[in-house]
Amino acid sequence: MNTITHKAKLAAALDIVERLVNKGYTALFAGGYVRDMLLRNGEQGDIDIVTDAAPEEVTRLFANTVAVGARFGVIVVVHRRIPFEVATFRSDAGTSDGRRPSSVSFTDARHDALRRDFTINGMFYDPRSEKVLDYVEGRKDLRAEVVRAIGEPEARFKEDYLRLLRAVRFAARLGFSIERATWDAVTTHALRITGISAERIFAEYDRMLRNPHPDRALSLLSESGLLRSTIPEVADLIGIGQPPEFHPEGDVFTHTVKALGLMAPDPSAILAWSVLLHDIGKKVTMRTTDRIRFNNHDHAGADMARTILKRLRASNALIDSVAACIDNHMNFMNVKEMRLATLKRLLSRPTIEDELELHRVDCLASHGNLDNYYFVKDRLTVFARERVKPAPFVSGHDLVRLGLSPGPLFGKILREIYDLQLDEKVKTRREAVEYVKEKWAQKKS
């Protein structure tokens, strides 16, 4: 767990600036840190530093460095065990692939600002004089609550098409609008996002889903065409009607947007992706009989979620957990009728906390009935964790000692005994062993 405080980061960053300045160089804080400092929105992220010192000089001045992007003038300086990106002022020339500049040249602060993405990210701050250096009217756009590309929007996006997603992320997270020419460029080039690596697209989506206002992010992604270009399975939910008695909010896409907006702040990645994808199986399972039905959409959705997250190069752990949440999300409607053993198995699932939160926002985004949510919350309180998933009274070694031969029957016996244990019909190891003797060992003899 990261226990580094913002105060400690700031002190270490100031040390780096002081050393560079004392050697005759300019050194400033840059980008997101300056934006969030001016907004006073409580964000305390990484502090990036820019300087006119060449990369090799930065490497010479500091003992612990890593040349993560020396070609682009970026050196990671580790100071007081905290890593900081220290980048040389640069100007980019052209792009060959919509992801990286064809060439770079080292320059001054003003030209460095002009090659950045949006005005609100293009300001610098001198921590020694406590002055903001603003060459792009970033403060004006902060006051107007506008995301605006620096210079010509078409040119900025052609330099790196990931900026299409970043425009949406900043607008959603900050509650800003996207300036008209910038928005027009986003919609015009939405298909270009497919040329960006899946890993980078996943990272932007993950930030959007876990930042404030993920519901607005999804709406903007849809309106811009970026959603259709990146996760078409979610875009396909637009217009998929639902029975109004259970879903008065409207179609499946509207429900998904609403559910995202109901998540508590700082959701886990498992929860955020589960909420986004929990109903993607509805399009392929939709049937109209006595009413609109989506039989087995949970299981179909789990398979589809695996496909989507694999395509986006998500980790196997996240893929498995999200698929489990989606596959299980309809089981909460039956919790009051479950036998005790079944309920305990549900409550002992490793993803139960995320599953329960998914159930909460799913209900609030539709019919609003939280009876089953509170029932499960109460059961989790009543059952201590050890009682929800206790160690089995009987093992395979016990069955062998009782004279039974290993084989497929072992699994059936162990499941049956464990269910009885969870149901609290067998309360001790001795009772469990006696049950096996009476039902199974005697049959063998």
Spans of all domains in the chain = 1-144, 391-444
Distance CA 34, CA 38 (A): 6
Residue 93 has pLDDT above 70, yes or no: no
Among 91-95, 102-106, 286-290, 383-387, top mean pLDDT goes to: 286-290
- Supply the pLDDT for residue 437: 84
- Supply the pLDDT for residue 100: 60
Residue 444 has pLDDT above 70, yes or no: no
Question: Which has the higher per-residue pLDDT, 390 or 262?
Answer: 262
- Supply the pLDDT for residue 359: 97
- Supply the pLDDT for residue 401: 85
Residue percentage of the chain with pLDDT more than 70? 93
Contact between 410 and 444 under an 8 Å Cβ cutoff? The reply is no
Average pLDDT over the chain reads: 91
Residue 11 has pLDDT above 90, yes or no: yes
What is the mean predicted confidence (pLDDT) over 120-145?
96
Q: What is the pLDDT of residues 193-229, one digit of tens each?
A: 999 999 999 999 999 999 999 999 999 999 999 999 9
Residue-wise over 73-89: b if at least 16 C-beta within 10 A, else e?
bbbbbebeebebbbbbb
- Please provide residue 133's backbone torsions phi and psi, each rounded to the nearest 5 degrees: -105, 110
Helix segments in 312-439, DSSP class H: 316-328, 340-347, 352-364, 371-382, 385-388, 396-401, 408-422, 429-436
Q: Based on the number of CB atoms within 10 Å of its own CB, is 185 exposed (0-12), middle (13-18) or buried (19 or more)?
A: buried
- Supply the pLDDT for residue 407: 81
What is the mean predicted confidence (pLDDT) over 105-127?
93
Place of tokens 């004089």: 129
Beta strands in 44-110 (DSSP E): 48-51, 65-69, 74-79, 82-88, 90-95, 101-106
pLDDT band for position 424 (cuts 50, 70, 90): confident
- Supply the pLDDT for residue 289: 87
Residue 62 has pLDDT above 70, yes or no: yes
Contact between 9 and 49 under an 8 Å Cβ cutoff? The reply is no
What is the mean predicted confidence (pLDDT) over 102-113?
81
- Supply the pLDDT for residue 137: 96
pLDDT band for position 68 (cuts 50, 70, 90): confident
Tokens describing residue 311: 């395509």
- Supply the pLDDT for residue 385: 63
Tokens describing residue 29: 């804080």
Q: What is the pLDDT of residues 39-53, one digit of tens each?
A: 986 566 789 999 999
Q: What is the pLDDT of residues 377-420, one digit of tens each?
A: 999 888 876 677 788 888 888 888 888 888 888 888 888 888 88
- Supply the pLDDT for residue 121: 96
Question: Which has the higher per-residue pLDDT, 154 or 4?
Answer: 154
3-state secondary structure of 83: strand
Residue 428 has pLDDT above 50, yes or no: yes
Residue 298 has pLDDT above 90, yes or no: yes
- Supply the pLDDT for residue 1: 41
The domain made up of 1-144 has a fold known as Beta Polymerase; domain 2 (3.30.460)
Residue 97 has pLDDT above 80, yes or no: no
Nearest to 233, CA basis, from 285, 308, 164: 308
